Amino acid sequence: MTAAPNPLLSANDLVKSYGRTPALRGIDLAVGVGEIVAITGPSGCGKSTLLLCLAGILRPDSGAVHYGEHRLDTWSEAARSRLRRTEFGVLFQFGQLVAELTAVENVALPLLLAGTGRRAARSAALAWLDRLGVAHLADQQPGEMSGGEQQRCAMARALVTEPRVLFADEPTGALDVLAGERLLGELMRVAREQRTSVVLVTHETRVAAYADREVALRDGEIDRSGLGLDTLLTSAG
């Protein structure tokens, strides 16, 4: 599957270093509306750095990130944070739920931060917990849940705003195979139903197989040595 000619999200010649250590060396990538793209490669190849730049969590040293017609990397941190509370969702490997809050409070949090009323936010949070099969955990705190249950609650929190783009960084990395397969199945089902674009970072072949398209990185660059060169873009525009 080739990349969309008019992408929802794109990166142009992204470069990012940590001190003197390069993480990204000129990455071009585009993601279409409703497309699920897996970013793969060995540890330390730049996968997570690319995701963080695309999500507006990190600014690249050079290059550009476009979201629709907007140049995301030029926005202020406050503006990028607002975007992640409304049109972007982020799911990390360990969920990162707030330990002191219950499941429903965790899931409602993005809505509350975006200005939604407390009753409406709680109602939406309960609906998403139910949709992902963990409504019975609504009043439990993360410490009372299994790893799989925590990750389902984290996924509900990432999806409660019905984002246009979901960024998932090794979302099954802390789960056993069965729990990971269940989580991925739910994630893909919801993404397809809502036409949510997904940027999925993984080092596992079985996880990447859920995506429409795979882009492999090596040493901060797109790996052009393998098959599937239709996954590559010389220009994200």
Query: What string of pLDDT tens digits covers the 237 residues of the chain?
Result: 445 557 999 999 999 999 999 999 999 999 999 999 999 999 889 999 999 999 999 999 999 999 999 999 999 999 998 898 889 999 987 668 999 999 999 999 999 988 899 999 999 999 999 988 899 999 999 999 988 889 889 999 999 999 999 999 988 887 888 888 888 988 899 999 999 999 999 988 889 999 999 999 999 999 877 544 334 333 333
How many angstroms separate the CA atoms of 228 and 152, rounded? 32
Q: CB-based burial of residue 29 (10 Å sphere; 0-12 exposed, 13-18 middle, 19+ buried)?
A: buried
CA atoms within 13 A on the CB side of 102: 13
SS3 53: helix
CA atoms within 13 A on the CB side of 15: 9
Q: What's the pLDDT at 198?
A: 96
Q: What's the pLDDT at 2?
A: 44
Q: Are strands 36-40 and 213-218 parallel, antiparallel or unpaired?
A: parallel
CB atoms within 10 A of CB 120: 12
Domains by residue range for the chain, with CATH: 9-87+163-231 (3.40.50.300)
The identity of residue 188, as a single letter, is M
SS3 140: coil
What's the pTM?
0.87
Q: What's the pLDDT at 109?
A: 94
SS3 93: coil
Q: What's the pLDDT at 234?
A: 34
SS3 131: helix
SS3 215: strand
How many angstroms separate the CA atoms of 34 and 190, rounded? 11
Please name the helix (run of DSSP H) or strand (run of DSSP E) that holds residue 164, with its range, or none: none
How many angstroms separate the CA atoms of 153 and 145, rounded? 10
Q: What's the pLDDT at 157?
A: 94
